[in-house]
Amino acid sequence: MIKAAILGYGVVGYGVYEIIRKNEQSITRKTGGNTITVKHILDLRDFPDHEQPELFTKNYDDILNDPEVSIVVEVMGGLKPAYEYSKAALLAGKNVITSNKELVAEYGTELMALAKENNVNYLFEASVGGGIPIIRPLNQCLAANEIEEIYGILNGTTNYILTKMVAEGADFASALSEAQRLGYAERNPEADVEGYDACRKIAILASLASGKYVNWRNVPTEGITKITKSDVKFAEKYHAVIKLVGMAKINDGKVYSRVCPMVIPSGHQLSEVNDVFNAILVKGDSIGDVMFYGRGAGKLPTASAVVADVIDAAKHIHINKLITWKAAKEDFMIDPETASCQYFVRANAENVIDSFPGAENLGGENGEWFFVTQDMTEADFKAAFAGRGAYIRVLEA
Amino acid sequence: MIKAAILGYGVVGYGVYEIIRKNEQSITRKTGGNTITVKHILDLRDFPDHEQPELFTKNYDDILNDPEVSIVVEVMGGLKPAYEYSKAALLAGKNVITSNKELVAEYGTELMALAKENNVNYLFEASVGGGIPIIRPLNQCLAANEIEEIYGILNGTTNYILTKMVAEGADFASALSEAQRLGYAERNPEADVEGYDACRKIAILASLASGKYVNWRNVPTEGITKITKSDVKFAEKYHAVIKLVGMAKINDGKVYSRVCPMVIPSGHQLSEVNDVFNAILVKGDSIGDVMFYGRGAGKLPTASAVVADVIDAAKHIHINKLITWKAAKEDFMIDPETASCQYFVRANAENVIDSFPGAENLGGENGEWFFVTQDMTEADFKAAFAGRGAYIRVLEA
């Protein structure tokens, strides 16, 4: 019998509770005969109508000091008090499972090291890609590969908005309103639409893939708020769609990572990923391209990833699973200005194209002109472009 | 230091050797400091020009009786002598890693039980989907789900042939020749084109997902040899493509599984999987749809899946990972005649359609008529159809 505690009874916390109850039998089979039950739920709110009101507490010490609890599920989100709570649990020899990408991206290095020292596990499958299995495959299934590239559609809200803009010719503001109406976007959508959420996620993936901590602050991040209807229309003329992409390239131990809208040619696997779905394309030196696709958010998908980690922890009580990356002291980030790609340009004057030999002219409308440059470095592009409009990077096929 | 032996130095065996040598450093990091080296290679052939000729042996006892060898990589294929060799290794307390779908589909139940008894592991990630991580995600990442459906494009050879037929209007024979010329199909292509390979793979996935051994003999299997150019053309009129699909539905502990060509409406994720790529769509009760996509065959993709298992075994010396299914004694297979779907029909007379109320008429050519029925059971369909032509099942959207 393994006892777990849930910190935070929001959407995901409730989903975790529900799945553990509903699938008790099959979970017991999967742990090899060990039944998992929830003994405590920490939340500041009251849940008087809950079927097990006796589980609730407002005092974290009830969990921390309970020697029966071997697994702590942290689904509170945010850094405070999640960081202190997670640290205290690991120091007390308890496993910690989280869906908190912000915390993993900020303090993951320290928390994983603490887990290792205390012979327990800090697992975070649900922090990236919601229900899509990606952390474990990256760490384990692809262990035999050097990971060379990761391209991910990592945020369901922005993907929904961009899908809407492509399919219905909607502009950003109305697509956002629709997403908010459907509950796909929060009332304050900044973390999603400015790319902050995707940034934390690609930083986690890049850290795992490179084995060294990629600080999310070193990942240049642009959101989708400046994408226009005309951008979408002329991208279509170029047989492409626009998606928010988190990418990382690893070359000789050095990492280039970025979050930005990208023009993705149709036919590319990521171009077909629509609505709130997420997908992560991983390129390994042995395996070639592998893609993982599914629902990147939502109560049950995310909760099912958390519960999978709970089961894994139950199977590895006091065995550290060696999911880890090193603190990186030296500078191993590639200067983004030296990276190169093609650029999809919206120019504010027709003659801007003259600065780009070999550019493909897509035409124009309403005083804006569109073209696609040849492959060039960021630095060279920006020098030639001189801010005469806007641009979107093109994902290479 | 962990010593491994490779049984069979064919394409995959060579790939395993190569990856373990090339990625030694990163592999050591991933095992937590344990270096893995190949100590023996068993093959009946001579490799006089090999860089390490001293590794080769023709006598399995050299491996079995070497107490230093803790991991045996069986990439010989076939049942004999792979079965005896695997069994002996497990009984000797050695981990066995395999890419041998035939062996897993036939003797997996016994070999996994033996592994458990001897506190070692029998791992077979590479047996399905080549390099695509699917066995581990199914067993572990999706542990928190009841798996309800699996639809897989599991065979690269047939997918290449069908892609060619769609893209170039080639007929089966010439697409097969082209596949053979490129090395994607074997000189004797029966195992691929008759669906036997896909049958073993879906039987393995269905066993894992249901937790009970699904005997491949109970999976009705049809290949792609009877698909015509006209089928492809009229499927296109129906906005669909034809693919060879291995499917399993699990309902209330009962399993319906089948391998057959299917008409897949465009827009469905599997319709976009082309050439030699494989993809497996899994539906879980909590997670919804998840898809895994990548190269289903080839030296390095398959070898990288084998090496990932080797690393996993190295991390779990004398800890059984509980990847298993039960021997199923009672009858838990759903009678395929009671399953229902729509049928894409090629009829040998125009009036056949009159037997199917509500059928969608697609027209005809050269004395053949095409239509799509409404949803109906196999038994009802076959009674009404009475063998007046040919048919392909339609994958529901």
Q: What is the pLDDT of residues B348-371, one digit of tens each?
A: 999 999 999 999 999 999 999 999
- A94: annotated active-site residue: no
User: Residue A369, CB half-sphere, CA atoms under 13 Å: how many?
Assistant: 14
Q: What local confidence, expressed as pLDDT, does residue A258 receive?
A: 98
Is the CB of A23 less than 8 angstroms away from the CB of B269?
no
Best of A19, A212, A286 to substitute, by most chain B Cβ atoms within 10 angstroms, is A286
Cis peptide bond N-terminal to B81, omega within 30: yes
Residue type, A350: E
pTM of the model: 0.92
How does pLDDT run across B79-89, given as a tens digit for each residue?
999 999 999 99
- Confidence bin at A166 (pLDDT 50/70/90): very high
Determine the Cα–Cα distance for residues B96 and B21; give it in Å rounded to an integer: 19
Q: What local confidence, expressed as pLDDT, does residue B30 receive?
A: 82
| A372–B contact, CB cutoff 8 A | no
Q: Taking Cα atoms as reference points, which of B114, B315, B136 lies closest to residue A30?
A: B136
Q: What local confidence, expressed as pLDDT, does residue A141 receive?
A: 62
Determine the Cα–Cα distance for residues A30 and B128; give it in Å rounded to an integer: 21
How does pLDDT run across B103-140, given as a tens digit for each residue?
999 999 999 999 999 999 999 999 999 889 999 888 87
How does pLDDT run across B6-53, given as a tens digit for each residue?
999 999 999 999 999 998 888 888 888 899 999 999 999 999 899 999
- Confidence bin at B253 (pLDDT 50/70/90): confident
Helix (H) or strand (E) holding A89: helix A82-91
Is the CB of B19 less than 8 angstroms away from the CB of A146?
no
Reduced to 3 states, what is the DSSP secondary structure of residue B82? helix
| Three-state secondary structure string covering B228-264 | CHHHHHHHHHCCEEEEEEEEEEEECCEEEEEEEEEEE
Among A143, A312, A322, whose Cβ lies nearest the Cβ of B140? A312
| B185–A contact, CB cutoff 8 A | no
| Burial group, residue A92, by CB count within 10 angstroms (0-12, 13-18, 19+) | middle
Q: What local confidence, expressed as pLDDT, does residue A326 receive?
A: 87
Determine the Cα–Cα distance for residues A101 and B267; give it in Å rounded to an integer: 32
Determine the Cα–Cα distance for residues A359 and A362; give it in Å rounded to an integer: 9
CA pseudo-torsion sign A65, A66, A68, A71: negative
CA angle B36, B41, B42 (to 5 degrees): 145
Average pLDDT, chain A: 94
Residues of chain B with Cβ-Cβ distance to A284 below 8 Å are: 131, 304
Alpha-helix runs per DSSP H in chain B: 11-22, 24-31, 61-64, 82-91, 101-117, 135-136, 156-168, 172-181, 190-193, 196-210, 229-237, 299-315, 378-385
Is the CB of A211 less than 8 angstroms away from the CB of B26?
yes
Token pair 């051994």 is found at: B213
From the list A39, A101, A201, A243, the catalytic residue is A201
Residue type, A55: L
Best of B16, B141, B271, B295 to substitute, by most chain A Cβ atoms within 10 angstroms, is B141
Residue type, A235: A
| A145–B contact, CB cutoff 8 A | yes
| A140–B contact, CB cutoff 8 A | yes
Could you tell me the two tokens for B214?
């699904």
Could you tell me the two tokens for B389?
């032509």
Cα→Cα distances A228→A220, A236, A327, Å? 21, 13, 40
| CB interface of A with B, residues 321-340, below 8 Å | 321-322
- Confidence bin at A119 (pLDDT 50/70/90): very high
Provide the total of helices (H) and of strands (E) in chain A, helices listed first.
13, 16
What letters, b where the CB count within 10 A reaches 16 and e where it falls short, cover A1-30?
ebbbbbbbbeebbbbbbebbeebeeebbeb
Q: What local confidence, expressed as pLDDT, does residue B137 receive?
A: 87
> Does residue B231 register a pLDDT over 80?
yes
Determine the Cα–Cα distance for residues A127 and A306; give it in Å rounded to an integer: 9
How does pLDDT run across A46-57, given as a tens digit for each residue?
998 999 999 999
Report yes or no: A226 and A244 within 8 Å, Cβ to Cβ: no
Q: Taking Cα atoms as reference points, which of A19, A30, A282, A202 lies closest to residue B287?
A: A19
| CB interface of B with A, residues 260-319, below 8 Å | 269, 272, 284, 286-295, 298, 300-301, 303-308, 310-312, 315, 319
> Does residue A358 register a pLDDT over 90?
yes
> Does residue A374 register a pLDDT over 90?
yes
Q: Taking Cα atoms as reference points, which of B17, B6, B2 lies closest to residue B40?
A: B6
DSSP state letters, A165-220: HHHH---HHHHHHHHHHTTSS-SS-HHHHTSHHHHHHHHHHHHHHHSB---GGGS-
Among B15, B133, B294, whose Cβ lies nearest the Cβ of A289? B294
Strands B122-123 and B147-153: unpaired
Could you tell me the two tokens for A127?
């922090």
The verdict on ipTM greater than 0.95 is no
Helix (H) or strand (E) holding A37: strand A36-42
Q: What local confidence, expressed as pLDDT, does residue A125 receive?
A: 94
Query: Within its chain, how far is the Cα of A256 from the centroid?
Result: 17
Among B27, B143, B292, whose Cβ lies nearest the Cβ of A144? B27
Q: What local confidence, expressed as pLDDT, does residue A324 receive?
A: 80
Q: What local confidence, expressed as pLDDT, does residue A329 receive?
A: 75
Among B139, B311, B321, whose Cβ lies nearest the Cβ of A143? B311
Phi, psi of A131 (to 5 degrees): -80, -10
Reduced to 3 states, what is the DSSP secondary structure of residue A100? coil
How does pLDDT run across A221-276, given as a tens digit for each residue?
999 999 999 999 999 999 999 999 999 999 988 999 999 999 999 889 899 899 99
| Three-state secondary structure string covering A39-77 | EEEECCCCCCCCCCHHHEECCCHHHHCCCCEEEEEECCC
A150: which strand partners? A248, A282
Could you tell me the two tokens for A361?
């002219």
Q: What local confidence, expressed as pLDDT, does residue A319 receive?
A: 81
CA distance, residue B353 to nearest chain A CA (Å) = 35
Angle A299-315/A24-31 helices, nearest 10 degrees?
Answer: 30
Among the residue ranges A133-137, A202-206, A328-332, B16-20, the one predicted with the least confidence is A328-332
From the list B101, B164, B201, B283, the catalytic residue is B201
Reduced to 3 states, what is the DSSP secondary structure of residue B365? strand
If you average pLDDT over residues B209-238, what whole number do you get? 96
Among the residue ranges A344-358, B73-87, B134-148, B241-255, the one predicted with the least confidence is B134-148
